[in-house]
Structures are given as C-alpha cells and as structure tokens.
Structure 1
Amino acid sequence: MNGTGDDGWSEGRLLDVTQPAAPIGYGIVQPGPYVRNGVPVIAIRDLDNLSDRTTHRSSPSIEAAYRRSRVTAGDLLISVKGTTGRIGIVPTGFEGNISRDVARVRLTDAHDPEFWFQLLRSFAAQQILQLAAVGSTRQELSIGTLKMLRFRFPDRPEQERIAEALLDSDRLTRALELMIAKKRAIKQGMMQQLLTGKIRLPGFTEVWEELHAGDIGQFKGGSGFPVRFQGSKSGKFPFFKVSDMNNEGNELFMSGAKNYISESQRKQMGAVLMPKQAIVFAKVGAAVFLERKRILTESSCIDNNMAALILDDTRADVRFIYHMLTNFPMGSLVATGALPSLNGRQLRSIPVSLPTDLDEQREIAAVLGDADAEISALRNRLGKAQAVKTGMVQELLTGRSHLAIKNAAS
C-alpha cells in the first residue's frame, strides 16, 4: 500500500483492504439442486436488490461443500462474468451463498463496507473494473486481477462520514421513487374510475355515451419526409418524427421539433398539415408498444410512422380524450406480423366512454392533469436529487472535498 497523500487519502490494492483468511473468492460452481427451504444463492440478477431474498435456494449439502464462498452482512459482491462490474452489498440478517458469476470481497475492520460499496459503484471505479475485464464475447474479471486493482481511500472515520452522506442521498432518491410510484398508482386508479363513469364528479348527472373513436374525430396518417428537406432548425411548421417524443419538454405537448420546414417545402413534398390540438402517436414499428401519446401545440407535420386524431371539439375535449387514449393499450390492436402497425379501421374502433356534457369532460381532465402535475413535480425533485448525488460522488469519493467532523454532543 502506498503512503498517505496530502489530502489524507491512501492508495492501495483491493487485496490490501480485505481480511486475510478468505479475502476475495468466487461462489459455488453448481448452485443446484434448488429446494424450497434451502440456502439462498445470490446471482448477478439479484445484486441490485439484495433486500429481496433470492428465490433460488441450494440444498444444504451442496452449500456445505462451498462454505468458503458463504456471504454474510457487510460483504461486497462484484459480478465477474458476463455483465461485469455490478456491485452489491449483503444486507444485515442475510446469510447465504453466491453463484460462480459473483465474487465476494470481505473487508478488514479498518474499512467501512458502505463506503466501498459507494466507491465501487462510482464512475471512476467502474471504468477501472471494465478496463480490467477480458473477453470479446463474454467479459470476465479474474480473482487475481481483482486483487491487484488499485483504489484511493481515506481512513475509516472519513469513510463512514462519506458513506452516511451518500446513504442519506440514496434514501431521499428512494423515497422520491416510491412516492412517484405511489402517485402513478393512484392516478391509474383515478383514470379507471373517472374515465368510465364509475365515479362521477359532484354536480354532473348527464348521461354517458358508449362510442368509438371514429365517432368523435378522424384519424390521419403522417407524410414521408425526404432527407433533402431535413435539418433546418427554423421554419413555419415543425415536422415531427417519432423520436421527437423523447425530446425534453415534449412529455405531454409537442412543443419543440428537431426539424422545421417552410410552406413551400410542405407543398413540394405534399405533407399533410395537422392542426393544433391534434393527438399524435406512433402507428408503425416497435414504438407503437411504447404507448406514447402527445398533443400538438401548433399546426405541424408528422412523419409517416405517426398518425393523428383530429377531434370534433363540439363533442370531445382534447385533454379528456388524451387521458382516455393514454389509458388504452393501442399495442393490443396490432396484428401478429413482421412489422407492427395500426390501420385506420383499428383506430376508429377504439371504444370511448364519453360524458355528453363537455364541462364534465373538462373537469375530469383537470383532475387528472393535477395528478400529472404532482408526478411531474416529484420527477423534477428526483432529477435534482440524482444530480446532487452525482456531484457528491465526484467530490467525496475522489478526496477533492472533505466533510467536516461533527462536534460531539455536549
């Protein structure tokens, strides 16, 4: 192990920070036979969530033959075959074994497992692990190579402070993820009730109609977009491709395109102009199954892998129908074939439950829009929390920044 640098951090091999008895080792070669009440065996697929005990369990007799690969709380796990470099840490209360594709790292008392878990997941450490892997078709990290890999680290007190700070950040991120999942589930339940009339909003008593999408609007396919017309960042009309649905800011409304055209160009290519408030979606290719629907904010052209629903606004509110279509799996209409696609007959047949009162449609859309706004705000908070965590990792796990030592309570 090298000496301590000016920042108080040392550099050494992974072998230097592990317990000498069985520092780094592979798991069992043959984890079977699997038995209901046997010993848990952790595989690569389990590393991202070790709090959920693996369902694969080996018989005690098989496990006993590989006792050196037994893992206990605080052991670090690294995938070493196939998908190399995935990191796990064995949670408190867990005892089991690991498969042959996973290596165990057991640290000495001078090192904090949570710090090393965070360090080995960092971008810099992942680069080290990936460069150390060999193999063209199936990557592999040998135990000998792992032992020789070098990392920089501080003493244990600073390791613990860094680990706690990063764990706090992870807890916030996880809490936000759970909150988003909960809000999405609540919204889904609201959609199933409000968009079918099973639950009515106060003050509305008018009947609902059972219709089809073709009764409330018309579907139009997009137009071919020759390459010679592509690439302009300005023009009278945006020309949307399916990929534009991924653009930041286009999560609900299609407000920005990567390509624009002039009126003369539109006429030259014979592109169909879709009106403001049309609902657009993919109609050809695997993107159909992504179930993305968007609303145009201005008159636009769309490519021939997309289609638009142009509503009769005297019968249907665009935001209500948007939510209804979001709740309808268009992929279920696709016939088995080489290329997934939707045709006009299928689209016109989509069932629609519709309040005859436009105000009720608008109120339902507003309630669901509020739910979307809550989820969007939480997603923004999550993005900021993840950005903060990235910055903390870059600063704290490199020694560029140090956490102050907390004063003892008086």
Structure 2
Amino acid sequence: MSGEWPHEKLKQVVSIAKGRIVANSSDVSSASIPYIGAAAFEGVASSWTTSKNGVAAKPNDVLMLWDGERSGLVATNLEGVISSTVARLRPNPGWESRYLAHFLKSRFEFIQSRRTGTGVPHVPKDLGDILEVPRPPLPEQRRIAAILDTLDRTIEGTQRVIEKLQATRQGLLHDLLTRGLDENGRLRDPERNPEQFKETDLGRVPRGWEAARLAEVATLITDGTHQAVKTVDFGIPFLYVSNVRNGRILWEKSGFIAPSEYRVVSRGRQPTRDGILYTVVGSYGHAARISKEIDFSFQRHIAYIQPEVKRVDSHFLSIWLESPHIKRYADAVALGNAQRTVTLTELRKYPIQLPPLTEQKRVVEYVESFDRQVDLEQAQIAKLQALKQGLMEDLLTGQVRVAVATAEV
C-alpha cells in the first residue's frame, strides 16, 4: 500500500515556475525555438520565439497547462519557452519526471475540481500545498514510469493506425461516390469504360444515378433544441456537435438531461432509428446515422434528417453527407466567420446523386466492412486504456509493487 511510502507535498517535490508572455510568431527561422502553449500539449508546434527572457523548459521537466478549460493537463519531453498559460514543474533530486507526470495525470480530475477563476479557470494557486505525492524509491519510480510509458506507446501506435484508416476512408468514399459499384461489387473504371459515366455539377458519376436535392429525399429536416438545458450526472443523453465524428455518434461522451426536461426540449424533435444527425454550426459537416432506438436530445447546432426510405438508404445518405462532394459544397455555402453556419435552408438544397437502391446497399456494405476494421482498433484502444487505468491505480498507490533489478537499486 502507498501508506508504506512517504508522501510529500507537491511544492517539496518540484519547483514551480509560471510562464510569461514573450514576443512570438507563427513563422519559424533558424534562430527560433518552440513557444510552448496549449497546442503543444496535443503535439502541435504552432508558435516560435527568439526571446531569451522567457521561462525555459527542458525535456526532463513536467509541464502543466495552468489556465483555461483544460487546465491540469500534463505534458513531458517538450523543450522551448513556455507561454503564460503553462507552468514548469522541475523535479527535485530523487524524483523521476516521468513518474511524476503519470501521477499528475492520474490526479487530473482532482485538479480540475479545485480550479479557481470565474471567466478563465486556473489551476489552484495552493496546488503545491494540497496535493501530496507518494514517494517510492527512485528505482521503483523509474520502473513504474517504464511500464506506463510502454502502454502509452502502444495506445499511441493504435491511435495512429486508426487515423490512417480514417484518412484512407475518405479516399474510399471519394471512389465509391464517384465510380459506384457494379453488379459484381467492383468499382467502375471511368478510364476503360467512359461510356458508363456522365458529367454533372458534382463531377463525373455513373449513368443511371439520379440527381436530387436533400429536401427531395427527406421527410423531415430540422435542428435541435434552441432552449438552454441544465445537464445532470445521469439521465437522457444530450448531444453536442463534438459528439458527431467520423460517421459515428459518440454516446459515451454525451451530456445528460433530466427526463422531465427531455420531454419539454424534445417536443417536435424526437429522432428515430435510421435518422441522420448532421453538424451545421462551428465544426460543421459531420454526419452520423442513428443506429439504435434510444431517447435522446441534441443542441440546435446539429440538424436532424429523416430520409425517405423508398428513395434512399439512410446509411448511404449519411455516407454521402460525409463525402468530399458535400464537404466542398458546405464550405461554399457556410455563413459567418467565428462560427461558420450551414443554415437549414442551404442544407435542404444539398445536391445528392442517387444510385439505384440495390447499388446504394452495395456501397453501404463495402463501407461497413471497412468500418469494422476501425471498430476493432477502437475496441483495442478501449481495452488498453482500461488496462492503463487499472495499472495506474495499482502502481501509483503501491497496491501492487514492481520488481526492481538489484543493479538498479
């Protein structure tokens, strides 16, 4: 148990230095060094500086996002000058930085629950006093860090596989929705068989495909509730724009509203299985089919489309709405600057090219077989994350001790 380990306050474990604002730019030169802000925590180097007056970070430092909605996030192995929204936690002798990083990540919810500030939330100023860190022997710290690092690398590798599959999916959709699948399930070839194709406003598509507008193949096009809702810990799922991604509804990341509130805000907006959700504000252009019967509500930034099933397969329509054709069209008709919006009026005008229903179903089956590969990889990530969560609980509390080679002691 961690009771066998001494505990020290965070301020005794690290020296904390808050970053400051220095001149920076998105342009990089030979003299530039990374200016580490929130984007760097996601692996994106977006700003650079030549200033010598900032707070410098070395790869062995632990960095924490100090200000903003995601304050409490931790990163390591970054080198540069930290911005004013970031703090450097430099380990004192006898502490392994990677062990500290894993421990602090495990305490993210603790830190978030104690944030201060009304407009922009901040890590609490007294974090160094209120957070205690268990101190296993240094060789054991290193061994714990190595085990968790290995899991992190496996998770990251699996995530890269998913990202590659999703990028490949976009190319696949382009081919399927411009060439179609013949009776044998093969992509038509416009080079060898140009007579099988025709030119349209959307480019070349197979003959026999029917041009339509979205409103002509839907019985209902509306949006989500315009009322402010109060979320609760448990209840009826409430979806935001961020819950519709890559052809899927991310139910596990939804908010919740009380059943009584659901009955009010969903009146006239009760989606059913095989309906389609399509994001129309901000991060617009993401579509997903509702694949199960479930009570839920959604914000007005999401549109709901009920397909006319005699003309269009709901899954095919969802795929079409995620196609490069429609993404380009959406970019052309979206209004505004800060939060670009596709109005329902414009959404109803979306151009659709409809293959015969039998061919629509072939396309759907082809895409579904590909998506199953993504599902398998995502299931693997879920297992790895659950394993890591359990290991963090066991290893960082000392409930399970790790073997350390004699040479390391």
- Structure 2 SS opposite 1:73: coil
2:74 alignment partner, one of 56, 79, 87: 87
Q: Does 1:37 align with 2:30?
A: yes
Pairs aligned (count) = 358
Return closer, same or farther for 1:216/1:370 CA change in 2, 3 Å cut-off. farther
Identical-pair percentage: 20
Partner Cα distance (1:276, 1:347) in 2: 21
Instruction: Indicate conservation of the 8 Å contact 1:214/1:347, yes or no.
Output: yes
Alpha-carbon shift at residue 324 of structure 1 (Å): 1.4
Consecutive unaligned residues in structure 1, runs of 5 or more: 226-238, 261-269
Instruction: Indicate conservation of the 8 Å contact 2:211/2:352, yes or no.
Output: yes
Return closer, same or farther for 1:222/1:240 CA change in 2, 3 Å cut-off. farther
Alpha-carbon shift at residue 17 of structure 1 (Å): 3.5
Partner Cα distance (1:141, 1:299) in 2: 38
Partner Cα distance (1:222, 1:77) in 2: 45
Partner Cα distance (1:292, 1:393) in 2: 36
Q: Does 1:78 align with 2:64?
A: yes
Residue type matched to 2:29 in 1?
R
Correspondence for 1:186: 168
Residue type matched to 1:363 in 2?
R
Correspondence for 2:5: 9
Correspondence for 2:209: 209
Residue type matched to 1:38 in 2?
A
Listed as ranges, the matches of 1:260-409 within 5 Å are 279-281=275-277, 286=281, 289=284, 291-295=286-290, 306-313=304-311, 316-327=312-323, 328-329=326-327, 341-343=343-345, 346=346, 349-356=349-356, 358-405=357-404
Return closer, same or farther for 1:309/1:97 CA change in 2, 3 Å cut-off. same
Return closer, same or farther for 1:190/1:85 CA change in 2, 3 Å cut-off. same
Q: Name the Cα RMSD after superposition.
A: 5.0
Return closer, same or farther for 1:288/1:405 CA change in 2, 3 Å cut-off. closer
Partner Cα distance (1:199, 1:338) in 2: 35
Alpha-carbon shift at residue 167 of structure 1 (Å): 0.9
1:58 alignment partner, one of 10, 30, 50: 50
Return closer, same or farther for 1:402/1:44 CA change in 2, 3 Å cut-off. same
Instruction: Indicate conservation of the 8 Å contact 1:70/1:97, yes or no.
Output: yes
Residue type matched to 1:97 in 2?
V
TM-score by length of 2: 0.67
Listed as ranges, the matches of 1:103-252 within 5 Å are 103-123=87-107, 127-128=110-111, 131=114, 134-139=116-121, 146=128, 149-197=131-179, 201-202=185-186, 207-213=207-213, 217-221=217-221, 251=248
Residue type matched to 2:322 in 1?
T
Partner Cα distance (2:241, 2:120) in 1: 35
Instruction: Indicate conservation of the 8 Å contact 1:78/1:103, yes or no.
Output: yes
1:48 alignment partner, one of 25, 36, 41: 41
TM-score by length of 1: 0.67
Instruction: Indicate conservation of the 8 Å contact 2:214/2:351, yes or no.
Output: no
Return closer, same or farther for 1:10/1:393 CA change in 2, 3 Å cut-off. same
- Structure 1 SS opposite 2:307: strand
- Structure 1 SS opposite 2:344: coil
Correspondence for 1:267: none
Instruction: Indicate conservation of the 8 Å contact 1:26/1:103, yes or no.
Output: yes
String of CA shifts for 1:156-187, please: whole Å, max 9, x gaps: 11111111111112112111211111111111
Return closer, same or farther for 1:126/1:335 CA change in 2, 3 Å cut-off. closer
- Structure 2 SS opposite 1:119: helix
Partner Cα distance (2:270, 2:76) in 1: 56
Alpha-carbon shift at residue 240 of structure 1 (Å): 11
Partner Cα distance (1:370, 1:143) in 2: 51
Partner Cα distance (1:272, 1:113) in 2: 51
For the pair shown, which has the larger CA radius of gyration, 1 or 2?
Answer: 1
Q: Does 1:99 align with 2:83?
A: yes
Partner Cα distance (2:288, 2:76) in 1: 40
Residue type matched to 2:217 in 1?
G
Alpha-carbon shift at residue 271 of structure 1 (Å): 7.2
Partner Cα distance (1:294, 1:102) in 2: 40
Partner Cα distance (1:147, 1:272) in 2: 50
- Of the structure 1 ranges 164-173 and 385-394, higher mean CA displacement relative to structure 2 is found in 385-394
Residue type matched to 1:164 in 2?
A
Partner Cα distance (1:143, 1:150) in 2: 15
String of CA shifts for 1:97-143, please: whole Å, max 9, x gaps: 323443323324422111011111212x6525863x65444555688
Consecutive unaligned residues in structure 2, runs of 5 or more: 189-195, 197-205, 226-235, 252-256, 260-266
Instruction: Indicate conservation of the 8 Å contact 1:242/1:306, yes or no.
Output: no
Instruction: Indicate conservation of the 8 Å contact 1:40/1:97, yes or no.
Output: yes
Partner Cα distance (1:77, 1:224) in 2: 39
Alpha-carbon shift at residue 301 of structure 1 (Å): 12
Partner Cα distance (2:147, 2:118) in 1: 38
Partner Cα distance (2:111, 2:380) in 1: 31
Return closer, same or farther for 1:253/1:363 CA change in 2, 3 Å cut-off. farther
Residue type matched to 1:88 in 2?
A
Instruction: Indicate conservation of the 8 Å contact 1:288/1:340, yes or no.
Output: no
Partner Cα distance (1:189, 1:105) in 2: 44
